[in-house]
Amino acid sequence: MSSYFFRNKQIINMKPTIIKQASIIIMFALTAVIYFNCDDSGVNPTNNPLTISGQISGWNLGNKTLSARIESVTGHNYEIANCPIDASGNFSLTLPATVSDTTLYSGDSVFTMGCSGTVTINPADSKGTRMWRFNVMDTITVLGYIRFCNYDTLFAGAFEDVFLYVNKDLSVSGTQYCFPGDTIMYNGTAKSGWNTVYENYIRKFSAYGYVILYNNTQPSGGAWKFVSFY
């Protein structure tokens, strides 16, 4: 089983594993008690299209360009939107209302790679993709990328925003056990169009292994952070 949601997460959060990707779920459950709210500062709550705005913490690079790139079933990533970043680090990026089905992953290929267990997607012909990266550009040079999170190094209690696109309403259930020791459980739904979910590292139980919770509740303490390639 291959997955767009678990591709290249080691690039995004600098953890050396292929399975730290987000899923297509608005609500996930690993514990008996889960809380939800509707507050997502800087994000338009509608699914189609999605506007993401904010200010990058500690920004000192002047005026630049933000390039939103998504993953494709072809194995390549490509730009779907861009916007200016001003000298203070402010930006406002609107993702397109639709993404062509020809670029989307489908069926039981939408989740994990290198994991055991079973994930059931209903309807089975659902397709989708995820944001690969928000690149910071200086003309044609990629300087790094930004992410909304509360960490520089992963820890129990860390979280990160994940932006996902699906072509129809769906539900998902099941459990995955992923190298090098992560446990990920799915039990929820996603709406057609763009979705924002939160990847929560709620427990660490081995050198690299985490229990990971995906839900639609934004924890406190997050900020848009710039990760430099230089």
- Domain membership of residue 230 (yes or no) is no
**Residue-wise pLDDT tens digits, 100-116:** 999 898 755 555 667 88
- Residue 226 located in a structural domain: no
Phi, psi of 12 (to 5 degrees): -75, -45
| Tens of pLDDT, residues 181-222 | 898 877 767 889 998 888 889 899 888 899 888 777 788 999
Q: Is residue 120 part of a domain?
A: yes
* More confident of the two residues 19 and 163: 163
Confidence band of 45 (pLDDT split at 50, 70, 90): very low
Structural domain contains residue 89 = yes
Tokens of 24: 């297509």
Q: Using CA atoms, how far apart are residues 91 and 26, in angstroms rounded to an integer?
A: 25
The answer to the question of residue 229 being in a domain is no
Judge whether residue 78 has pLDDT over 90.
yes
Give the model's pLDDT for residue 117.
Answer: 86
2 lies in a domain?
no
Give pLDDT, residue 110: 55
Hey, what are 4's tokens?
């767009």
Range 19-58 burial, b when 16+ CB lie within 10 A, else e: bbbbbbbbbbbbeeeeeeeeebeebbeebeebbbebebee
Residue 1 lies in a domain: no
Asked, for residue 77, whether it belongs to a domain, the answer is yes
Task: Return the pLDDT at 113.
Answer: 62
Domain that holds residue 66: 9-35+44-220
Number of domains in the chain: 1
